[in-house]
Amino acid sequence: MTHDPTNWHGTTILTVRKGGRVVIAGDGQVTLGQTVIKANARKVRPLGKGNVIAGFAGATADAMTLFERLEAKLEQYPSQLLRACVELAKDWRMDRYLRRLEAMMIVADASVSLVLTGTGDVLEPEGGMTGIGSGGNYALAAARALIDTDQNAEEIARKSMAIAADICVYTNNNIIVESLDTE
C-alpha cells in the first residue's frame, strides 16, 4: 500500500514570509482515526542553533526522527539550510528505514522556506508561503488572500490557521508560532 501524504489527517502547518519575518505556525491537534488524542501537541519548533524553524505533518515519531536527522545535517552544513535539506532528502530516498517514514516538513531560515517530502522532494514555494497537512490548503488560501493587507506575517499566519481550523475537522485553534527575522 502506498501512502499519500496529501491525505494525512491531524495537522495543519503554514509558513508566511512578510515584512522582514518568516513564520511557521502549526495547530496542536493529534487524531487517531476520528478520535482526538491530544489537543496541544507542539508540531513547530526551532532547530539547530535557533536559526532554523520547522513544522511537520504526519506520524509524530517519524517527524521526530526527521527533525533529529535534519539537525545533524545542519551541524554538518552550518548556515546552509538548502544543502542540509538536499542531503537529508537523499538519505530519505536511499535509506530503507527512512523511506518508510510518513511525514512532511516545512523548514525555514532567514533566506529560504522549503517543503521536504518523503519522496525526496525539496521544494521552495513561490512567495515564501506554503501549507501542509489536512488543513494546509485552507490555511494557504487564507494566507494568500491576506498577504496584501497591512497585517504582519504572524497576524496573517494566526488568522489563516483559525480559518483552517473552522473548516478542517483535523485542525484545532491551539496554534504554536515560531518566527525568525529575515533582515
Sheet holding 122-123, edge to edge: 44-47, 52-58, 103-108, 113-116, 122-123
**Cα of 148 vs its chain's centroid, Å:** 22
Catalytic pick among 11, 12, 15, 182: 11
Give helix 136-146 / helix 153-167 axis angle, nearest 10°: 140
Could you tell me if 71 and 111 are in contact, meaning their C-beta atoms sit under 8 angstroms apart? no
Three-state DSSP class for residue 126: helix
Q: How far apart are CA 171 and CA 160, in angstroms?
A: 12
Q: Could you tell me the maximum CA-CA distance found in the chain, to the nearest angstrom? A: 47
| Catalytic site includes residue 11 | yes
Q: How far apart are CA 31 and CA 62, in angstroms?
A: 15
Could you tell me if 59 and 102 are in contact, meaning their C-beta atoms sit under 8 angstroms apart? yes
Three-state DSSP class for residue 164: helix
Catalytic residues: 11
